[in-house]
Amino acid sequence: MRRKSAAAAALPILATALWMLACGINGAEPQVIAPQTGRPTGEYIETGDMDRLAARGKIRILVPPQLEKPYLPRGGSPLDSERSMARAFVRETGLQPKIVQVEEYKDLIPWLLEGRGDVIAASYTITPKRARLVDFSDPIRSVVEQVICRDDDAAIKAPEDLKNRIIAVRRSSSYWDSVISLQKKYPGFFIEAAPERLDSEEIIYGIARGDYDITVADSNLAQAVFSYRSDLRIAFNLTKSRNIAWAVRQNSPKLLAAINSFIATSAVGHQHTDMYRADMPEIKERKLLRVLTRNSAATYYLWRGKLQGFDYALARKFATGQKVRLEMIVPPDRNQLIDWLLEGRGDVIAASMSVTDNRRARGVAFSDPYNYVDEVLVARTEDPLASLADLNGRRIVLCRNSSHWDTVSDLVRQGYGIDLEAAPDDMEPEDLIDGVANGTYDLTVADSNILEIEDMMRDDVRAALTLRKDVPVAFAVRAADTRLLHELNRYVRRSYRGMFYNMTKKKYFSNKRQIKRRVPARTRNTGQISPWDDTVRRYAQRYGFDWRLMVAQMYYESKFNPRAESSMGAKGLMQVLPKTYRSLGFREVTTPEKGIWAGIRYMSILRDRFEADVPATERTWMAMASYNAGYGHVLDARRLAEQLGLNPNRWDDNVEKAMLMLRYSRYARRARFGYVRGDRPVKYVNEIRKLYNAYAETVPR
């Protein structure tokens, strides 16, 4: 192999320095140090072209910094969509995709040039400054940069209205140069350099909170945010259309050619607002399946940075088998699922939808059933209701367009004296169940699988009567899309009640284990809590935690089993997910010490992500809730707490209350990270605190 010249070898370093200088970013570039080796993270440095990448068997995709998904993908989420496209491209080459997260946005080009990644897929705008250092692919989409302000900020409608205002953007972003150019034409406003660790949506949220005055965002990102936020608005367009593309090193013509070939034959520029009707051949051609769903515990949600849900898992398996990308699309409310399907905003509905003649009459065709549920009457636990005769004079609240409305209407026609009341159309079954539990409603009807999930979290409601048994649940498509329907039927027949199906169904509907947590009896007698007390002490002291609290968390996570592994892949004594411990610099957590180190270090990172003016104890509880549910869900809970007049800087009875409310659709649909089973992190914090208090009573600090 021909050796590089010294000058050629120095090019990445020189280019990195030029990039840092061009962006006005001073200081040494930070590195993540792998604790077990002392070396920077990443398996290797590689600056070669496609042949060198093929020899290694991987293509590394550089993406922005994040500890978890940037938000729940509802359709059109730019970063998530682009990451999915990049993975699809790499797999098409026959290689393995490897996601590499940079530490800050400004690191994207330096890491690429240094050989720590091979492709930047970060919703990256083509600019002259960047094009001097990297080669860009053909455009994957076009966007317009837009000025964003609060909805109640009516003063800004045009550039001349910016006088004495402050625009906050990252210095390394394309927006920075755009704002500099604007300032030359319209002097009198100020530019604030937002932290490089923040993504654009976090800055947008800062506008809503009042942390920043004004910002700039790409139109596709703004569209994704505005689909569930109403407290922001677009003031005006800052630029004309600009192209988004992927970036590679300038000595990678073969890699660039492969990317451009993929772009030319794929619908990588698709955005969820496109409306078209596609049967299976066109879906295959576009290499994209758009699935309409709901954001709920049974269907699709985000948990600890990982997408979950029974319907989502089945849809993902189908898309993988068809070798197409999956895009999940969540309409503003469940009543729009069929409307959006018929309009061409999606290709399939996978939303635990029961099969009814009324839905067929609207032009929908159903696949073979992939599940069967009972329609059950939901009453409070103490309600003595025991037969249909007991329904006389009772009030049942339901959404008018649900299949349950038809079921209860039949009972009314049969002569039962039921007062049938229509609930607001945007309410989900979980909202109605909660209304029964708290006494707002008398009775409601739910599918048995939904009530099974609720039963895992509460004991104040019950299935009083079964109104219909074995109601089929199926995928829905447009009646004209016969080829897609055929493929879905083949998939259901092959997978129904197979190993994957049974394990998935059990995971979401049947796992009712209640693990008992208790303080080990030996603690009071020996003064020892776990076999690893000394190790926990050492790392707890390093990162500023009471070691007994960390031991309590460790027991709750693994019951002191260093070989514990969850169904989601979390490993070790502190049950750290692989993507998390790798982002911290650990290749594995195969020893007790590494598991403890990774878990406590992750706790410290989460704690430090909350503002310094939040009391230290409150930051600890919120970090612990983040450890369990994900940092994003805790941020959503803090925002909701503030909106409700609660204290966003206090966990007990404040953020804790808001966290519980995020399991209801009326709050979840406006949250960045969407639905969350908020009782889990609340219970997690409370149970660990109980253990900690017990340890603190018997074991000295």
Q: Could you tell me the fold of the domain covering 145-240? A: D-Maltodextrin-Binding Protein; domain 2 (3.40.190)
Tell how many helices (H) and how many strands (E) occur in the chain.
Answer: 28, 23
CATH of domain 6-139+247-264: 3.40.190.10
Which residue type sits at 661? M
Residue 622 predicted with pLDDT over 80: yes
531-698: which CATH architecture?
Answer: Orthogonal Bundle (1.10)
Which residue type sits at 309? G
Which residue type sits at 512? K
pTM of the model: 0.63
Alpha helices in 29-133 (DSSP H): 50-56, 78-92, 108-114, 128-131
Question: What confidence category does residue 6 fall into, taking pLDDT thresholds of 50, 70 and 90?
Answer: very low
Alpha helices in 132-199 (DSSP H): 174-185
Q: Which residue in the block uniquely carries the two structure tokens 């922001």?
A: 232
Sort strands 325-329 and 288-292 into parallel, antiparallel or unpaired.
parallel
What does the alpha-carbon distance between residue 448 and residue 466 come to, in Å, rounded to a whole number? Answer: 9
Locate the DSSP E strands across 185-324: 190-194, 214-218, 232-237, 242-248, 288-292, 301-303, 306-308
CATH of domain 371-473: 3.40.190.10
CATH 3.40.190.10 in the chain: give the residue spans. 6-139+247-264, 145-240, 371-473
The single-letter DSSP state of residue 335 is G
CATH 1.10.530.10 in the chain: give the residue spans. 531-698
Q: Could you please report the per-residue DSSP string of 553-615?
A: HHHHHHTT-TT-B-TT--BTTTTB-HHHHHHTT-S---SHHHHHHHHHHHHHHHHHTS-TTS-
Question: What confidence category does residue 134 fall into, taking pLDDT thresholds of 50, 70 and 90?
Answer: very high
Question: Stretch 323-329: mean pLDDT, rounded?
Answer: 87
* Residues catalogued as catalytic: 557
Per-residue pLDDT at 125: 92
Per-residue pLDDT at 518: 29
Mean pLDDT for the chain overall: 85
Question: Stretch 501-527: mean pLDDT, rounded?
Answer: 56
Residue 537 predicted with pLDDT over 70: yes
Per-residue pLDDT at 20: 57
Per-residue pLDDT at 343: 92
Sort strands 288-292 and 135-136 into parallel, antiparallel or unpaired.
unpaired
Residue 243 predicted with pLDDT over 50: yes
Sort strands 348-349 and 325-329 into parallel, antiparallel or unpaired.
unpaired
458-476 pLDDT, tens digit each: 789 999 999 999 999 999 9
Question: Stretch 395-402: mean pLDDT, rounded?
Answer: 90
Question: Stretch 314-340: mean pLDDT, rounded?
Answer: 89
Per-residue pLDDT at 230: 79
Is 318 or 610 the better-scoring residue by pLDDT?
318
* Cβ atoms of 675 and 295 closer than 8 Å: yes
Residue 511 predicted with pLDDT over 60: no
What does the alpha-carbon distance between residue 60 and residue 53 come to, in Å, rounded to a whole number? Answer: 9
Residue 527 predicted with pLDDT over 70: no
667-677 pLDDT, tens digit each: 888 888 888 98
Per-residue pLDDT at 107: 92
Per-residue pLDDT at 524: 39
* Cβ atoms of 286 and 278 closer than 8 Å: yes
Question: Which pair of tokens denotes residue 297?
Answer: 């515990």
What does the alpha-carbon distance between residue 376 and residue 479 come to, in Å, rounded to a whole number? Answer: 30
